[in-house]
Structure 1
């Protein structure tokens, strides 16, 4: 896969990911842990059916024994579970912009993790892009924090998402060249762990048929499909670039919540979003202009 194709696919992934906030605002009666349970359960069901379609009908018979013996798959599965669970819980506790702004700390954390654990060097322009994006996020964060203690709690839960995401992208990158390790089951494992962990707290169920339809759509098209794509993309794109491109979810998610759910962001959120978008586009344009035909393996040429 060419780099440009991988970038376009990653932008499609962020488009699918960004739908969660707006869709969750149209639920009738499902709240809190029940929202997380149903989304994760539908995600696990979709992956149970999709993976054999992609890898052959005997996929699970061969994959499950390897799954139990692979620390990388278990670690990645735990990261996915934290991401799935914390994200939806945070959305039920605070505004969409608050959650997505907090998640946008992911690129900085991913770059730091890749530098510490993978010994990967980042191009100077990527560090500049990360710090500009982080400054925009900090501006948004300071404004949204005036909403009160409840916003603090929701954003505290949301903070688990970029930490788990940075850990996951770094782990996926470390295993990207290892053809013997199939990390696709980790996406399924994360969904199963998230559903099992939230099931006792979700009972008794209150979701309507309308809620179940929306949550099924989130489980399949907002989680299962894009998460399978992003695992494949980590074989082409460096971890820090995956995390930086994922910032588009922040802007799109706030936009959809504004246009579809009527949840308007503050002026500070809009200004911060412009800074994030400028950093993302600038990094990609400079990368396309300066990228050599064969990047050196020792440096992340983003």
Structure 2
């Protein structure tokens, strides 16, 4: 298995596991801050346990690799706070539709930070996605879900920023999403001790244990490791699975149906992402074919020559 294939497999599996996040959170039936505390606290505990096991096995693995690791963990922690707030303040379909906008954020940040200039097709896709998100958010201004939608948009940006930092550093950030859970744990503890709103109970804690101890650590370890092998925009693409499947699970379990504008915006987002993915796959096949032909003819592709010169 090539490094690129490994990155695709890890990221695809992590994204599939993540599709069950929102339904399981809803099944727990808890209030906002206890859910924040247990969800992130369990993830943090699992990360520390796994890191300890690796240390006992004498396998070196940095829990947080330097300052960039601290920054990445902080971004994931803030995204967790924003995400759970979104789940509690807007429809599940709105959350996942808006979260899919992280591909646009990842492309923009990759351009600004890494110099990975988006192709024209990517820029067109981003423009379409902006229009679709504007449609969803505009509808929420009418239904009173604006705060939840803005929280979801903020979470999408933070996840894209964490992916970009991981990509730029080339470091192993597998534990960073769980370690970042210390931020929501501390914030939730402060709110609950102060008796703030949403600091009461959890009706079915076993669902939250499944979420925090299994689903979140497993999915985010895969998603945080993926950028070591594939580009940030490719990683962001896999969040399309949650965009498509999470509303289906919520509809099957709770009977929650998106509003018409949200559904239209979601369909536009999904269509744009699918079209862009197919275009990327076609372009990658062409590049691979050109590279193979050049090697067979004893010529080195111009892109590889440029990379070799830069390396020198």
Give the TM-score taking structure 1 as reference length.
Answer: 0.84
Contact 2:15 2:223 (C-alpha < 8 Å) held by counterparts: no
Give the secondary structure class of the aligned counterpart of 1:184.
coil
Q: Which residue of 1 aligns with 2:276?
A: 283
Q: Which residue of 2 aligns with 1:245?
A: 238
- For residues 4 and 221 of structure 1, the distance between their equivalents in structure 2, rounded to whole angstroms, comes to 24
- For residues 141 and 156 of structure 1, the distance between their equivalents in structure 2, rounded to whole angstroms, comes to 8
Give the secondary structure class of the aligned counterpart of 1:39.
helix
Deviations 1:37-71 (Å, cap 9, x if unpaired)?
100011112222234456753568x736xx4x811
Q: Per-residue deviation at 1:206?
A: 4.2
- For residues 221 and 12 of structure 1, the distance between their equivalents in structure 2, rounded to whole angstroms, comes to 13
- For residues 190 and 35 of structure 2, the distance between their equivalents in structure 1, rounded to whole angstroms, comes to 13
- For residues 246 and 80 of structure 1, the distance between their equivalents in structure 2, rounded to whole angstroms, comes to 15
Structure 1 residues 274 and 101: CA distance shift in structure 2, 3 A? closer
Structure 1 residues 197 and 58: CA distance shift in structure 2, 3 A? farther
- 2:108 matched to 1:112? yes
- 2:278 matched to 1:274? no
Q: Which residue of 1 aligns with 2:147?
A: 153
Structure 1 residues 12 and 146: CA distance shift in structure 2, 3 A? farther
Contact 2:13 2:222 (C-alpha < 8 Å) held by counterparts: no
- For residues 260 and 77 of structure 2, the distance between their equivalents in structure 1, rounded to whole angstroms, comes to 33
Aligned residues between the structures: 287
Q: Which runs of 5+ in 1 are unaligned?
A: none
- 2:95 matched to 1:94? no
- 2:175 matched to 1:185? yes
Contact 1:32 1:202 (C-alpha < 8 Å) held by counterparts: no
Q: Per-residue deviation at 1:4?
A: 5.1
Task: Point out the structure with max Rg over C-alpha.
Answer: 2
Contact 1:247 1:276 (C-alpha < 8 Å) held by counterparts: no
Q: Which residue of 1 aligns with 2:168?
A: 174
Q: Which residue of 1 aligns with 2:138?
A: 142
Q: Which residue of 1 aligns with 2:72?
A: 76
- For residues 6 and 134 of structure 1, the distance between their equivalents in structure 2, rounded to whole angstroms, comes to 28
Q: Which residue of 2 aligns with 1:199?
A: 189
Give the secondary structure class of the aligned counterpart of 1:92.
helix
- For residues 262 and 201 of structure 1, the distance between their equivalents in structure 2, rounded to whole angstroms, comes to 32
- 2:62 matched to 1:63? yes
Structure 1 residues 58 and 2: CA distance shift in structure 2, 3 A? closer
Contact 1:46 1:224 (C-alpha < 8 Å) held by counterparts: yes
- 2:208 matched to 1:218? no
Q: Per-residue deviation at 1:168?
A: 0.6
- 2:12 matched to 1:24? no
Contact 2:107 2:233 (C-alpha < 8 Å) held by counterparts: yes
Q: Which runs of 5+ in 2 are unaligned?
A: 292-300, 308-312
- For residues 287 and 157 of structure 1, the distance between their equivalents in structure 2, rounded to whole angstroms, comes to 30
Q: Per-residue deviation at 1:73?
A: 0.6
Q: Per-residue deviation at 1:249?
A: 1.7
Q: Which residue of 2 aligns with 1:256?
A: 249
Structure 1 residues 278 and 6: CA distance shift in structure 2, 3 A? farther
- For residues 129 and 228 of structure 2, the distance between their equivalents in structure 1, rounded to whole angstroms, comes to 25
* TM-align CA RMSD: 2.7
Q: Per-residue deviation at 1:105?
A: 2.4
Q: Per-residue deviation at 1:6?
A: 3.6
